[in-house]
Chain A
Amino acid sequence: MGFARRLQNHPRLLAASYQANLWIAMKLKFAIRIFGPDRLARWLRAPEEFTKRQIFGCTMCGQCILHSTGMTCPMTCPKNLRNGPCGGVRANGNCEVEPEMRCIWVDAYDRSKMMTTYKDELHVLQPPVDRQLEGSSAWVNLMTGADRVSTAGWSDSPKVES
């Protein structure tokens, strides 16, 4: 078992580091005002991509929901599902598309059970991915709030444009 996988099997540790990250990001919000989101994204993108790719296999979707999915990246699912497993999971818990790979949602489910803080977020309905954010820094998007803007029709009582 690789280092990354061993680390991922400690979702509580990762969730704690996520919380630390979140705290830092919120404290650094002023940096957006000083440097602007574009320049900040230029600086942060490379270190973010490096660390997240090593640990989670991150594909830089730009709207990270790791903490809601047992610290397992949903975009590593070959079908990019963000709301749970498809019906094709093999009896041994492996992926329908890649028979040698464990279904990331089986992992996510097991790991979320180990978690304390974000345990129930696995059942939260995740909105469709905003493909415009692909390739951008999720850390900066977290600070600007761009990753939490969902389309008008997604809210509970949408304002219908006439």
Chain B
Amino acid sequence: MALPPPKSDGRLEKVLRAGLFAVTAELNPPDSADPHDVFDAALVLSQVCDAINATDASGAHCHMSSVAICALLTHAGYSPVMQVSCRDRNRIAIQGDVLGAAAMGVHSILCLTGDDVTAGDQPGAKRVFDLDSIQLLRTIRTMRDEGCYMSGRKITVPPRLFLGAASNPFAPPYDWRPDRMAKKIEAGADFFQSQYCFDVPRLETFMKRVRDLGLHEKAYFLVGVGPLRSERAAEFMRSKVPGVHIPDEVLERLRKTPKERKREEGKKICVEIIQQVREIEGVHGVHLMAYRQEELVAEIVEESGLMSRRRRTENTDPNSWIAGKRGSAHPNPQASRTPPVGND
């Protein structure tokens, strides 16, 4: 199957197109005005992942903005995924931010509806939701492919962007979720990053339907994973973070672990989940969300065996990539343009 031309010049798209199992990670945005807080966090993550997500006030908590984090990261040579939520800005502000981001060197944008203001610490704020995530995807796709704003006014140099969307297979109505994914692909989604996965059987059911609809061939799917610090942290996430589903077995497992080993156990659960989802057909990577535990990300990637970046397709030696002997064994000519695995 001939691949369509790439949408962006970014590393994440190249890695996915080359058939590698992608790893992305969320950068916990600082509550400070010191750029080194961003650089320090990015340094830890960049050694093990293909792209760093800059969150846009996730959980409706105010932090350094995603645009600013992307400005710092692109300046330092990274290629971040900028998250854009519809909660805080209207269509005029968002379209301007998208152009600015592309100008700075952002190659991927993740379009989100956004958690409601009531999930955060300033519940009295005005919620905007001028667009919803699907309309946002469609708007940015129009900017990229048609070279115009939503009004039809021309953009002289359109942004080149790899468009992402969120998917939550773990929230009702469960049997509608794959169809929603189809709708998002129709609106312009090129890749998906899912909500935290702690329930692999449910993901399997979801992915089966995704495969039946043929969606795994139209967009890349990255499963969200993350370590739990303790059963208390898990209970907090279950009740306070919207859309996170943690089965009782996981909680029980953490509860039975002695206190000093809980962190280790949480990491182990995460590694196990990564190894399980990697076997599911149609899963193209993982998205690590280690809230205030960035130092664990490298360990998790290492321990789940992702450092060698085994190929999704069976017939190639993974080591050929690191050794730089790519090209000959590769079925995809695009792959030869992919940079060797390492830092951004």
Q: Are A and B co-members of a single complex?
A: yes
Say whether B317 faces chain A, with CB atoms less than 8 Å apart. no
Which residues of chain B are near A159, meaning CB under 8 Å?
152
Interface string of B151-192 (1 = CB under 8 A from A): 111100000000000111001110010011011001100000
CA distance A90 to B168 in the complex (A): 11
Task: Give complex CA distance A124, B245 in Å.
Answer: 28
- Choose from A81, A88, A162 the contact partner of B154 (Cβ within 8 Å): A162
Separation of A159 and B150 alpha carbons in the complex (Å): 11
Contact size range, A: 35 or more
Q: Which residue of B lies closest to A88 (CB)?
A: B242
Q: Would A96 and B243 count as touching, CB distance under 8 A?
A: yes
Residues of A within 8 A of B127 (CB): 78-79
Interface residue? A89 (CB, 8 A): yes
Asked whether A33 is an interface residue with its Cβ less than 8 Å from the other chain, the reply is no
Which residue in B131, B147, B167, B183 is a CB contact (below 8 Å) of A123? B183
The chain B residue sitting closest to A84, CB to CB, is B180
The answer to whether A160 touches B147, judged by C-beta atoms less than 8 angstroms apart, is: yes
How far, in Å, is B9 (CB) from chain A's closest CB? 23
| A127 cross-chain contacts in B, Cβ below 8 A | 135
Q: Are B168 and A154 in contact (CB under 8 A)?
A: no
Q: Please state if B154 and A154 are interface contacts (CB–CB under 8 Å).
A: no
Tell me if A87 and B116 are in contact (CB < 8 A): no
Instruction: Name the residue among B115, B171, B187 with the largest chain A CB count within 10 angstroms.
Output: B171
B149 within 8 A of partner (CB): yes
Q: Which residues A61-104 have CB closer than 8 A to chain B?
A: 78-91, 93, 96-97, 103
What is the chain A residue whose CB lies nearest that of B238? A91
Residues A161 and B187 in contact in the complex (CB < 8 Å), given A84-B176, A85-B171, A87-B113: no
Asked if A158 and B138 make an inter-chain contact with CB atoms under 8 angstroms apart, the answer reads no
Is the beta-carbon distance between A160 and B146 smaller than 8 angstroms?
yes
A161 contacts B129, C-beta separation under 8 Å: no
A105: interface (CB < 8 Å): yes
A129 contacts which chain B residues (CB < 8 A)?
A: 130
Contacts A125-B186, A153-B149, A153-B151 known; A85 to B173 CB distance under 8 Å? Answer: yes
Knowing A84-B134, A153-B152, A160-B152 are in contact, say whether A89-B187 is a contact too (CB < 8 A). Answer: no
- Collect the chain A residues with CB atoms within 8 Å of residue B139's CB: 128, 153
Report how far A23 CA is from B104 CA in the complex, Å: 53
What are the residues of chain A within 8 A of B173 when measuring CB–CB?
85, 89, 93, 105-106, 109-110
B280 within 8 A of A: no
Does B91 interact with chain A (Cβ within 8 Å)?
Answer: yes
- Measured between beta carbons, the chain B residues less than 8 angstroms from A123 are 179, 182-183
* A151 CB within 8 Å of chain B: yes
Query: How many B residues touch the partner, as a band?
Result: 35 or more
Tell me whether B119 is interfacial, beta carbon within 8 Å: yes
Asked if A152 is at the interface of the complex by the 8 Å CB criterion, the answer is yes
By the criterion CB–CB under 8 Å, are B138 and A154 in contact? yes
Measured CA separation A110–B173 after assembly (Å)? 9
- Does B195 lie at the interface of the complex (its beta carbon under 8 Å from any beta carbon of A)? yes
Chain A residue, CB-CB nearest to B183: A123
Measured between beta carbons, the chain B residues less than 8 angstroms from A82 are: 132, 135
Q: How far is the CB of A102 from chain B (nearest CB, A)?
A: 10
B146 & A97 in contact (Cβ 8 Å cutoff): no
Taking a contact as CB atoms under 8 Å apart, the answer to whether B152 and A161 are in contact is: yes
Known interface pairs A128-B91, A154-B142; A83-B148 also in contact (CB < 8 Å): no
Contact between B150 and A79, CB atoms less than 8 A apart: no
Q: Residue of A at shortest CB range from B90?
A: A131
Near B by CB (< 8 A), chain A positions 109-157 give 109-110, 123, 125-129, 131, 151-154, 157
Whether the Cβ atoms of B115 and A151 lie closer than 8 Å is no
B152 lies within 8 A of A91 (CB): no
Given A79-B127, A123-B183, A162-B154, check contact A103 B115 (CB 8 Å). no
Chain A residues with Cβ below 8 Å from B166 are 87
- A and B contact pairs by CB, cutoff 8 A, 9 listed: A81-B132, A87-B166, A88-B171, A89-B243, A128-B150, A153-B142, A153-B152, A157-B146, A160-B154
The 9 closest A-B pairs by CB, nearest first: A152-B152, A88-B242, A87-B168, A153-B150, A83-B134, A87-B243, A89-B171, A96-B242, A160-B148
Residues of A bordering B, CB below 8 Å: 78-91, 93, 96-97, 103, 105-106, 109-110, 123, 125-129, 131, 151-154, 157-162
User: A80-B129, A83-B134, A84-B183 given. 11 additional CB < 8 A pairs?
Assistant: A85-B171, A87-B167, A87-B168, A91-B171, A103-B172, A123-B179, A125-B187, A126-B135, A129-B130, A151-B150, A162-B154
